[in-house]
A and B are shown apart, each in its own frame.
Chain A
Amino acid sequence: MRTTLMAWLNVFRGFPSIAVGLLIVGLYAAMALLAPWLAPMDPIAVHADAVLSPPSARFLLGTDGNGMDLFSRIIYGARYAFGIAVPAVLLSILIGLPVGLWAGYRGGWIDEGLLRCMDLLRVFPSIILALTIVAATGQSIMNVILVIGLLDAPIFARVVRAEILALRGGLLMESARAIGNGTSRMLFVHLLPNSISGALTQISVRMAWAIRVSATLAFVGIGIQQPTPEWGAMIRQGAEFMVTGEWWVALFPGMALVTLIFGLNLAADGIQDWMGRRRTQR
């Protein structure tokens, strides 16, 4: 147990981006989990006497146009961020991994279908696509999760497919067959575990993406609405007040959003570097 701890500390020392990235993500995750204990006030409680008041001792980050405490809302907002990103990415993996595996190993119509799908997705800017679909199909959180999950699945599929194609006819497969493995063992014991490193690095990237999309949807007025303490919706409201000088209403949710996305991308970069180093050295 102690040696694994030491090993991890060494990884962090060599790849500080992983450390910093995971630290940020960890803090936000803690925020999401412990929101009821961390938030000083009820996020949707209206304080009619303190509408649009700037940051003070009472309201650490000020209040918004409805008199709700920004600090508490931002803390609770983490729940929505993770609550959408995590299920969405899980859905993507659940769909994308098997499809990629089949497409890479068997080829045929699944492979063709996947490639056409990817081509199609490349045509439309994905945010617009997400916006349109959610607007058309109903504006609930479940919908947002489904849409993001489905749009991201082909990316996981493609990444897994590429690695499988590279390994498929290679020595590892020949050797596994020569030893006497049947098809299912060859696939799941030998091929798949050696093809998922790409997918692992994508997880962090896609989570950042999912958070951005859901925030954008809320900002544009689709999906989550007031008084739900979601960062995108909060920025939407705050945008109006930028002009009149109440800068804190938009700024703090914005910073929260940017920092989390930054943390996720930083961790993703670091993990990619680390995996690359591991492959050539270990």
Chain B
Amino acid sequence: MTPAATSDAVNPVLSIRGVHLAFASRDALGAVRRAHVLNGVELEVGPGRIVGLIGETGAGKSMTATATIGLLPPSAEIKGQIIFEGVDLLSLQGAALDKVRGARIGFVAQNPRAALEPVTRVGDQLVRLIQAHSSLSSQAARERAIAILEAVGIPDPQARYRAYPHELSGGMAQRVVIAMALVNQPQLVIADEPTTGLDVTVQAQVLDLLQQLVRAQGAAALIITHDLGIVAQYCDDMAIMFAGRVVERGPVAHIFAKPQHPYTRRLIAASRARIGTALTSMKSDPPDLFRQTTACVYADRCELVAAVCQSAPLEKSCSTAAPDHRVLCHLAQTP
């Protein structure tokens, strides 16, 4: 099944609007400080599209996923809207949220060993998930579980059904996690760095599988990663995050061909060439999340920086060449 030609001409599956997230804490010396982890995130996932959310450490990409799936700790201060199937997920609590999670939204966690319960057999965990969101009998649920284990490429699924997570290798465990994310036919799959810790050869296998299953089910997907290679090879659209904001988003082919934001250009150059780039002299510290500003946070390391960047607030992103290719930059050209 081919993805829709344009991403948000139709109603998007997931729409993240103006999300701000902060955490208050005490530092080692006892003073209170607030980390502004997300600063007005704007993001959309179109139906049937695979979107890559890319950023480096501290950009806020994992937090975006955590906020969407409703797993933020109680101390999180969050504002904004995350609209899924017409409902604001941030307004849901308890049972209402549970109905969405695991059934309408599937989640593939970063560390399969952390995501799977160590004392329960793999098959039983799948069956539990199936029965929580449907009225299938145990027998029917078991058959469905074995079917999905086979679909994710686990050899001898009948036997593996009875395995415990620690008996599986890293790649196998990650396939089980993918199975759990997809077994209830979700509308949206969120995968948080799904190939961390996997070997290079296994990584390609797992991503091929994820892409194939997501397309087969006609679902949309949000893949969070720091690897531009994954985005280039597997995603239809992409969104680049820096210091809690989405600085550029749009179709993958477009952005790689004509990256508009200086940070995007820098990331692409750094991912391709290894040596001989002029990037070495740039400031490489992660941005200070304790400093809140409405102006551009990238300004102190941007090669295009102008006076307006330090002072004027960055509100709405501007559109560029394509209507769905948006950039958050004062100096981007608006056609």
Interface SS of chain A: helix, strand, loop or mixed?
helix
> Please, what's the 1-or-0 string for A64-80, where 1 marks a CB less than 8 Å from any CB in chain B?
00000000000000000
- The answer on a CB contact under 8 Å between B30 and A11 is yes
- The answer on a CB contact under 8 Å between B28 and A282 is yes
- B26: interface (CB < 8 Å): yes
Q: How many A-B residue pairs have CB under 8 A?
A: 22
Please report the C-alpha to C-alpha distance between residue A7 and residue B31 in the assembled complex, in whole angstroms: 10
Q: Smallest distance from the beta carbon of A101 to chain B beta carbons, Å?
A: 27
- The answer on a CB contact under 8 Å between B30 and A15 is yes
- B285: interface (CB < 8 Å): no
Q: For A12, what are the chain B residues with a Cβ–Cβ distance below 8 Å?
A: 30
> Please, what's the 1-or-0 string for A1-21, where 1 marks a CB less than 8 Å from any CB in chain B?
000000100111111000000
> Please, what's the 1-or-0 string for B24-35, where 1 marks a CB less than 8 Å from any CB in chain A?
001111110000
Q: Smallest distance from the beta carbon of B19 to chain A beta carbons, Å?
A: 26
Please report the C-alpha to C-alpha distance between residue A282 and residue B28 in the assembled complex, in whole angstroms: 6
Considering the complex, give the chain A residue whose CB is closest to the CB of B25. A281
Q: Smallest distance from the beta carbon of A171 to chain B beta carbons, Å?
A: 18
Q: For A15, what are the chain B residues with a Cβ–Cβ distance below 8 Å?
A: 30
- A122: interface (CB < 8 Å): no
Q: Smallest distance from the beta carbon of B23 to chain A beta carbons, Å?
A: 13
Q: For B30, what are the chain A residues with a Cβ–Cβ distance below 8 Å?
A: 10-15
- The answer on a CB contact under 8 Å between B28 and A281 is yes
Please report the C-alpha to C-alpha distance between residue A275 and residue B330 in the assembled complex, in whole angstroms: 45
- A58: interface (CB < 8 Å): no
Q: For A14, what are the chain B residues with a Cβ–Cβ distance below 8 Å?
A: 26-27, 29-31
Q: Smallest distance from the beta carbon of A215 to chain B beta carbons, Å?
A: 34
> Please, what's the 1-or-0 string for A245-282, where 1 marks a CB less than 8 Å from any CB in chain B?
00000000000000000000000000000100110011
Chain B residues engaging chain A, CB cutoff 8 angstroms = 26-31
The 7 closest A-B pairs by CB, nearest first: A14-B30, A10-B29, A10-B30, A281-B28, A13-B30, A278-B28, A282-B28
Question: Could you show 22 A-B contacts with beta carbons less than 8 Å apart?
Answer: A7-B29, A10-B29, A10-B30, A10-B31, A11-B29, A11-B30, A12-B30, A13-B30, A13-B31, A14-B26, A14-B27, A14-B29, A14-B30, A14-B31, A15-B30, A274-B28, A277-B26, A277-B28, A278-B28, A281-B27, A281-B28, A282-B28
